Structure 1
């Protein structure tokens, strides 16, 4: 592994400067990424529907427009790939499901419309588990996505295709979604950046779950600055969501301030007693020293978030019944079927208790953030596991009761209505990436990005490229 200066490994912000100074064209940039996809794409299996002709046509049109002095926006000419859960008009979107293997949406999702209007060039769709169910990217339509740092390992999920594509140099920007860690876990596994925004920051338009706040869309990139760039485009109010935040994305467009001196940082190595693989724990334990060296005031805390367990599982189960309960049981995979059955067992009393638990936790954590600016903790409890293993069954000697449990360090945070980013933190002795999670109080997305940016600059782990 090492650093690379290839065009396709430049940051999106660097690519943008080359485009604006006319040192490269959008067509040349698209061609470079399409060549990279041809070279290593099959090994990783990250981009599952390639839109090469569309990408080249979009890039050529952008070049023609630029020659006339018209720049489309902050993403003008930058390649992007969309998660295969994200609707793209006229381009196959399978949701990782056999039922939708040939599905072609009639309309774009909001993030696609916004990115295209800002000049982004779509090169394809990234792999995801069936309906985004699980933190390991494998499905019956396209198979498994492999980790670029070790092809025998998982890329995480459910935005595993996006993370692997970024790490492999297939695209500089990608979208993702996150209910229980799906933007953060694959970022951690693949040494890239994923931001779970405050719910409502990137609005959704769901016909069945408009009020559901556990699932969010967000940006992924190789650098925090690039993630902020994409956030500046895809965030902002939309009336299609009843809890959309009434702020545009302009705050994310400015260069991130790397000065975190004086910021109050709480560090929790296990979020109140969760089992953490010793290799992961050893890497994330370095984060407090890095932030203290930058002038932050770091304090280790004993923070118990265990009440999030019941709340998350109940609300997730209800959501799965609501969203997928009408699908034929023999046509969905075991993870989706299990979640739907969990939903059928939810009672009115159970939902009431979940709301009570979540409300109390929100108030308690809100008070906690009166004393701290960010909370730092592990993203995942384990490093990347074997790609042929369906899920993690044991963490640090503790058996996991089901396929969800090994991701508590991520999905407990989802319950808090808080923004959280995964940023590269280092590598295990085997060379497997490990990210650290930076969590802010609700609506403090920019603070999270600032701290992540400072950490990234101080460590440089994100510049270590996979051996492809």
Structure 2
């Protein structure tokens, strides 16, 4: 193990290489992981429901005794607390589910276990994943990896912080409204929202109508991101929108990107309020692509961004009401819901069928517009957030750059163009603002163009350089 130095600083790719070669044992890696969590987690509160150390070390020794394990054999991982983990508490950040222990894994979790990963615990999230600020009454508040006084983002805030501080080498997340992108940007790591249907969800309940949220990978490098996506992705015949099998993403990263074009939307002609420094930092980061002979062109899509927001908020409230409506209808259970959840549910329950139809028509129009834009651009770019991390004691920012925010998620509007269309979006670290806080930008491309987007990300990662761990 001496040749590996401080294990928490190493990439998942390097750790897995050492495990496969017998130069590192799963028990050694588990000991290092638990030591890092013990040292760091009390400050940031990112890893929750951690299994007993004796149990985890025994499982690691069992991995060492096995022969011919899967691609993630012996690697510790913690699962976002919105995904079911068999035998391990899954709370969704809600007191209503504070003691819930599932009897089965979500599909992608089962795939990670089958690949040899050791599930050590969960990563923190806001209640039911609502809002990009990871706090809840069950596990408390997760704070930013770089400054404990500000937000970690969300809803994959625990995952991003665990990565940024070296407690995990890989982490899963989910993204409805930027939940893989905003926390990645605010903690200086990578987050990838795949094309809808690439990573299968649970084949239970209604499966046709709600196409807004998806699971995806987070990591400290694009190579590790692609490695985890290889494990999470793949068709599921039980799901109607499941995408067909594709070649391994990790094997496609090194393609030539010279000559590709990126359309930089910026603040969409002033529509998106931006805190000072966000646009300039993202523009400077995008300039990195010039070293790769990738052209970055300013573009203003010929589409009303207010219509995108209208469509999104309608479909999102409808989806939240469908998911949590039964809880709301029970007054005793409703009392345990946070105000933002109640607001979403009541808004969703008040919608008519024609409201949903109109929102879907706008979504269809936007998808058609994107298809036309992707005839000229290989990817489009926006900041991954509209402001730098805000004080952790806030519930959500009431204004951005002097503009009042109408709802608990209005300040996240910039992530909606990709989410509404169900297309892949990659959050890349842009660097740090003058106040020392991280920011990122997002690239998004056509549905099914996940590999091409990751190729652009890998080119950027090589030119940008290795990202540092939070202190």
TM-score bracket, normalised by the shorter chain, equals over 0.9
Contact 1:391 1:403 in 2 (8 A): yes
Deviations 1:54-85 (A, max 9, x none): 432321111001xxxx2221111111110001
Q: Shift of the alpha carbon at 1:398?
A: 1.0
Deviations 1:329-377 (A, max 9, x none): 2121111111101111111111010011001110111111011101111
Instruction: Pick closer, same or farther for the CA change 1:280–1:5 going to 2, 3 Å.
Output: farther
Contact 2:252 2:455 in 1 (8 A): no
Q: Distance between the aligned counterparts of 1:440 and 1:222, measured in 2? A: 21
Which residues in structure 2 correspond to 1:123-272 (within 5 Å)? 123-211=120-208, 212-248=210-246, 250-254=247-251, 256-257=253-254, 259-272=256-269
Q: Report the TM-score, using the length of structure 2 for normalisation.
A: 0.95
**The 10-residue stretch of structure 1 (13-22 or 380-389) with the greater mean CA deviation from structure 2:** 13-22
2:37 paired residue number: 37
Q: Report the TM-score, using the length of structure 1 for normalisation.
A: 0.95
1:448 paired residue number: 453
Structure 1 regions of 5+ residues with no counterpart?
A: none
Contact 1:258 1:453 in 2 (8 A): no
Q: Shift of the alpha carbon at 1:206?
A: 4.8
Deviations 1:6-56 (A, max 9, x none): 211211001111112222101101110110001111111001110234432
Contact 2:198 2:233 in 1 (8 A): yes
Counterpart among 279, 282, 307 of residue 281 in structure 1: 279
Matched, 1:359 2:330: no
Q: Shift of the alpha carbon at 1:293?
A: 1.9
Misfit runs of 4+, over 4 Å:
none
Please give the root-mean-square deviation of Cα atoms over the aligned residues, in Å.
1.4
Contact 1:30 1:55 in 2 (8 A): yes
- Aligned partner of residue 200 in structure 1, secondary structure: coil
- Aligned partner of residue 125 in structure 1, secondary structure: strand
Q: Shift of the alpha carbon at 1:255?
A: 5.5
2:291 paired residue number: 293
Q: Distance between the aligned counterparts of 2:148 and 2:427, measured in 1? A: 21
Instruction: Pick closer, same or farther for the CA change 1:370–1:255 going to 2, 3 Å.
Output: closer
Contact 2:424 2:450 in 1 (8 A): yes
Structure 2 regions of 5+ residues with no counterpart?
A: 328-332
Matched, 1:437 2:435: no
Contact 2:281 2:431 in 1 (8 A): yes
**The 10-residue stretch of structure 1 (16-25 or 401-410) with the greater mean CA deviation from structure 2:** 16-25
Instruction: Pick closer, same or farther for the CA change 1:351–1:34 going to 2, 3 Å.
Output: same
Contact 2:142 2:158 in 1 (8 A): yes
